[in-house]
Amino acid sequence: MTTTWILGSMGWMPARKQQTACVLVELEGELILLDAGTGVANLGLCADVLARHEHLCVLLSHYHLDHVVGLMYLKRFVANKRVDVYGPGTYAYPRSTADYMADVLQPTVYASGHMGFARDVRYHDFAGSRFSVGDVQVEVRSQRHSSPSFELRLNDDVVYATDTSFAAEDWQGVRPAKLLLHECWQAESRDPRHSDVRSLASGVPNAFGRVVLLHQNPAWEDAERAEVEQLALSRGFELAYDGMAIEG
Ligand SMILES: [Zn+2]
Ligand SMILES: [Zn+2]
């Protein structure tokens, strides 16, 4: 049984009562956070889930602030746990995940520092395109963005693809998963660093069981939001909201 909770469904900045990139997944006895944006502030919604685990794993798609600033909120929720943070690091960047987070959470900026938000904090760089977290097989895949960002796959249960443009040819022959969490930044293709719902609606393979759209755009006017919703609904996609729980 896999359960996924959307804790932050917005990109860039909180807006419309939606926090930035953060998804909690419980599967195979592991508790895994996909990105650590301001949505970490919503972890209190999952207090009973947190209580079941001594260990939290955080997988970072990339290091943009809307995906990592919530690491400093973790102290409120997991101060007595072990936390392993995985990021691209030297797999794709000049420096390690530990180095980048030491910069972002330097003590001048955050008093507890990058090692101080839990009982035992350990940083790891992606050890190739496939690695294990307990009994969970993690696969990462390079995406199209302004900095190297990675699609994160947990077994064949969850695929999380945010901060990327969408190209149908990238998805031909890709093993489907029960749940695809995909970015939707715009209705029509404009910004090549991000995806548009028209391309998603025509190009996502039908084999994905359920498609939920997140990393929504805080700058949407009502008209664009309505267009996004209409395009998404026409294909059976759902728009994520904070607190959304997805079973199975
Ligand atoms: Zn982002
Ligand atoms: Zn980004």
Query: For the residues 150-159, what does the mean pLDDT come to?
Result: 98
231 alpha carbon to ligand 1 midpoint, in Å? 22
Query: For the residues 42-54, what does the mean pLDDT come to?
Result: 98
Task: Give me 217's structure tokens.
Answer: 């755009």
180 alpha carbon to ligand 1 midpoint, in Å? 17
Is residue 31's pLDDT more than 90?
yes
Q: How many angstroms separate the CA atoms of 185 and 215, rounded?
A: 7
Query: For the residues 179-190, what does the mean pLDDT come to?
Result: 95
Instruction: Check residue 54 and give its pLDDT.
Output: 98
Instruction: Please tell me the number of the ligand nearest to residue 193's CA.
Output: 2
Predicted confidence band of residue 136 (pLDDT cuts 50, 70, 90): very high
Across the strands, what pairs with 124? Answer: 86
Rounded to two decimals, the pTM is 0.98
CATH 3.20.20.20, applies to 3-247: no
Is residue 51's pLDDT more than 90?
yes
Q: Beta-strand (E) ranges in the chain?
A: 3-8, 22-27, 30-34, 55-59, 82-87, 120-125, 130-133, 136-142, 150-154, 158-161, 179-183, 210-214, 238-239, 245-247
Q: What angle do CA 86, 91, 95 make, to 5 degrees?
A: 80
Instruction: Check residue 178 and give its pLDDT.
Output: 97
139 alpha carbon to ligand 2 midpoint, in Å? 19
37 alpha carbon to ligand 1 midpoint, in Å? 9
Is residue 209's pLDDT more than 90?
no
149 alpha carbon to ligand 2 midpoint, in Å? 7
Instruction: Check residue 248 and give its pLDDT.
Output: 86
Percentage of residues of the chain with pLDDT beyond 90: 98
The residue extents of the domains of the chain are: 3-247
Query: For the residues 23-33, what does the mean pLDDT come to?
Result: 98
State pLDDT tens for residues 70-120.
Answer: 999 999 999 999 999 999 999 999 999 999 999 999 999 999 999 999 999
